[in-house]
Amino acid sequence: MLKTGLAAVCGFLLTVSASQAATVKVIINNYMFMPDRIVAHPGDVILFSNQDTDPHTATSLDGKSFDSNTIDPGSSWSFTVKAVGTYKFHCAIHPDMLGEIDVQ
């Protein structure tokens, strides 16, 4: 846990010095993530906005990187990406809804 925290802090500091963090928007609508492949950099914020009529989640398939829990229609949820890597995710309510975040 401590090791992860230190890596995150180092990654954050490197990102701030190298470039401005961005917010990457993902729309959830019609049982899809749009876009479903997201490219981001450490320190960026990924903002999921549920514009569908049903609740959805954004849940990493590795079971630990991130989990929005339920995002109600009209609601949003965001988190900050930290470590470089590829993170596949789905909606825990509708597991056929798939997406991927590539942190570079």
Give the max Cα distance, the chain: 40
* 41 is a contact residue toward Cu ion (CB under 5 A): no
The residue range among 18-26, 40-48, 54-62, 82-90 that interacts with Cu ion, by the rule CB under 5 A, is 54-62
**How far apart are the C-alpha atoms of 43 and 79, rounded to whole Å?**
10
Residue 91 identity: C
Stretch in the footprint of Cu ion (CB under 5 A) among 10-18, 59-67, 68-76, 93-101: 93-101
Indicate whether 94 belongs to the interface with Cu ion (CB under 5 A): yes
The CA distances from residue 82 to 3, 64, 97, in Å, are 13, 13, 23
Q: Is 91 in the site for Cu ion (CB under 5 A)?
A: yes
Residues that bind Cu ion (CB under 5 A): 56, 91, 93-94
